[in-house]
């Protein structure tokens, strides 16, 4: 079956924009090109891209009067705030005929959807968010579909995984920005060998030997998922409704729970959230940690010439070495469908996600670009490790009921002391909560 991504011709889109400005546009019928790409599921997607984008932008510039106010929400980290400020200046210089007032707000990608949905009409014109929030934002009408492109086509420029993550029902709703919103293992190679970090059993033993710690947020559902998924178990919400599907409480799930509890029984294993991980890495207490690219600078500074990263370790399940899985994630840029300056918001979103901008953001944040040309130019141990881990990763697609029960289960496994009956009850309770309607 063919999925059709129905696109509005450039001239038609600009006609609507200009009409909203009170200007009568020219409505010449411009021919369009059809570019066929292969979607990640193997089906084809027809993408119609209008021609004459330079004329469309020129018409918009001519029709724009007064100051164009835009608000951008992006990560609160210093690196993101600084690089986005640079890109805002470059955008203003590129369209110097227009007076822009662009405000940059601080908003974590992980909670962006919640803030947007508090009041969609008052939310930012353009915002950066984690890909697992896409469905909720689309259903709330908070995202303008990317049916018209002005300066480049994301479906051609970005990786298939990122495009898939930015799409719903075959329609692109956001602009891919990064392809590295996942996790892997950082370690100090001056203290730990390749063999040490190849399995949890070896890693724990090595940290015990060194009198140091290995950190992971076992009580966080985002990370705990990795063990169960690695063992071939299911937990997702692919139906895009309010109910998750989860089979963690079967025989294999019990074996996984035993393995995680055994790992956590060592004093060398510590359950830490992101901020505490960074603190203890800096203090020299933690010599290995499951974490992501956003903290590369912290680990690099702490481990010095021993700085290294690799895929997640294997772990023992019923006597077999099982590769730990993970969530794969992307950061996306969305345009608020309620923006008062929709045309300019879309052009601005394209600008901060184009090849050059993704490369600048990658250099500033050490996160890997989604853009196919920019991605190979950000070569770091962390991104290489995430690339290796991506072979064992899946998109994060769980409904809200997942997080608290999964976190409670992780905390119970970390605290330990449960016999088989106790572990089974903990698993049953977690699955009941995860799958609740």
Task: Give residue-wise pLDDT tens across range 418-435.
Answer: 999 999 999 999 999 999
Residues 6+ apart with CB under 8 A from 103: 69, 70, 71, 72
Task: Specify the pairing of strand 99-106 against strand 44-50.
Answer: unpaired
Structure tokens at 170: 């075959």
Structure tokens at 329: 């994630």
Sign of CA dihedral 89, 344, 28, 35: positive
Q: Where are the alpha helices (DSSP H) in 140-238?
A: 154-157, 160-165, 200-210, 221-230
Q: Where are the alpha helices (DSSP H) in 212-293?
A: 221-230, 251-264, 274-282
Q: Determine the pLDDT at residue 238.
A: 76
Structure tokens at 24: 């009568």
Tell me the pLDDT of the chain (437 aa) as tens digits: 222 222 333 333 433 333 333 333 232 222 223 332 333 333 333 433 444 567 889 999 999 999 999 999 999 999 999 999 999 999 999 999 999 999 999 999 989 999 999 999 999 999 999 999 999 999 999 999 999 899 999 999 999 989 999 999 999 999 999 998 899 999 999 999 999 999 999 999 999 999 999 999 999 999 999 999 999 999 998 776 778 999 999 999 999 999 999 999 999 999 999 999 999 999 999 999 999 988 999 999 999 999 999 999 999 999 999 999 999 889 999 999 999 999 999 999 999 999 999 999 999 998 999 999 999 998 889 999 998 998 999 988 898 899 999 999 999 999 999 999 999 999 999 999 999 98
List of domains in the chain: 22-181+329-380 (3.40.190.10), 184-327+399-435 (3.40.190.10)
Q: Report which of 139, 210, 145, 203 is spatially closest to residue 171, judged by C-alpha positions.
A: 145
Residues 6+ apart with CB under 8 A from 425: none
Residues 6+ apart with CB under 8 A from 187: 196, 197, 287, 288, 289, 303, 308, 309, 310
Q: Report which of 271, 295, 309 is spatially closest to residue 387, judged by C-alpha positions.
A: 309
| pTM across the whole model | 0.74
Structure tokens at 150: 């002005």
Locus of tokens 């076992």: 218
Element (H, E) at 49: strand 44-50
DSSP state string for 78-97: HHHHHHHHHHHHHHHHHTTT
Across the chain, which distance is largest between two alpha carbons, in Å?
A: 76
Q: Determine the pLDDT at residue 396.
A: 87
Q: Determine the pLDDT at residue 240.
A: 66
C-beta atoms surrounding 28 within 10 Å: 9
Structure tokens at 412: 């119970």
Structure tokens at 225: 């998922």
Element (H, E) at 383: helix 381-389
Q: Determine the pLDDT at residue 30.
A: 26
* Cα atoms found within 13 Å of the Cα of residue 205, Cβ hemisphere only: 9
């Amino acid at each position: 079956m063919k999925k059709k991504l129905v696109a509005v011709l450039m001239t038609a889109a600009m006609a609507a924009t200009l009409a909203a400005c009170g200007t009568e546009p020219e409505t010449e019928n411009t021919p369009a090109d059809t570019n066929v790409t292969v979607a990640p599921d193997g089906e084809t997607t027809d993408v119609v891209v209008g021609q004459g984008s330079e004329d469309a932008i020129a018409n918009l510039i001519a029709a724009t009067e007064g100051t164009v106010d835009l608000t951008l929400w992006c990560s609160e980290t210093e690196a993101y705030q600084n690089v986005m400020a640079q890109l805002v200046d470059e955008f203003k210089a590129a369209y110097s005929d227009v007076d822009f007032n662009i405000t940059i707000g601080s908003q974590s990608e992980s909670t962006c959807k919640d803030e947007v949905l508090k009041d969609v009409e008052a939310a930012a014109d353009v915002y950066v968010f984690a890909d697992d929030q896409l469905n909720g934002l689309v259903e709330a009408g908070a995202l303008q579909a990317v049916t018209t492109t002005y300066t480049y086509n994301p479906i051609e420029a970005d990786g298939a995984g990122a495009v898939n993550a930015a799409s719903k029902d075959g329609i692109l709703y956001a602009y891919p920005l990064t392809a590295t919103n996942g996790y892997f293992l950082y370690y100090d190679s001056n203290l730990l060998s390749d063999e040490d970090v190849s399995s949890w059993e070896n890693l724990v033993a090595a940290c015990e030997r060194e009198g140091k710690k290995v950190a992971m947020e076992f009580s966080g559902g985002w990370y705990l998922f990795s063990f169960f998924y690695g063992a071939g178990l299911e937990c997702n919400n692919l139906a895009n409704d309010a109910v998750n599907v989860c089979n963690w409480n079967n025989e294999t799930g019990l074996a996984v729970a035993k393995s995680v509890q055994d790992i956590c029984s060592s004093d060398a294993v510590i359950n830490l959230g992101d901020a505490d991980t960074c603190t203890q890495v800096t203090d020299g207490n933690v010599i290995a940690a499951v974490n992501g690219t956003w903290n590369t600078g912290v680990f690099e500074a702490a481990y010095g010439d021993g700085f290294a990263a690799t895929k997640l370790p294997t772990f023992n399940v019923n006597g077999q070495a099982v590769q730990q899985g993970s969530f794969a994630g992307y950061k996306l840029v969305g345009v608020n469908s309620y923006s008062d300056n929709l045309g300019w918001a879309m052009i601005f979103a394209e600008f901060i996600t184009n090849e050059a901008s993704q490369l600048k953001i990658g250099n500033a944040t050490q996160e890997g670009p989604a853009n196919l040309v920019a991605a190979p130019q950000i070569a770091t141990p962390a991104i290489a490790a995430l690339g290796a881990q991506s072979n064992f990763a899946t998109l994060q697609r769980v409904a809200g009921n997942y997080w608290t029960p999964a976190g409670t289960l992780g905390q119970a496994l970390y605290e330990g002391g449960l016999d088989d009956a106790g572990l089974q009850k903990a698993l049953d309770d977690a699955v009941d909560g995860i799958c609740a309607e």
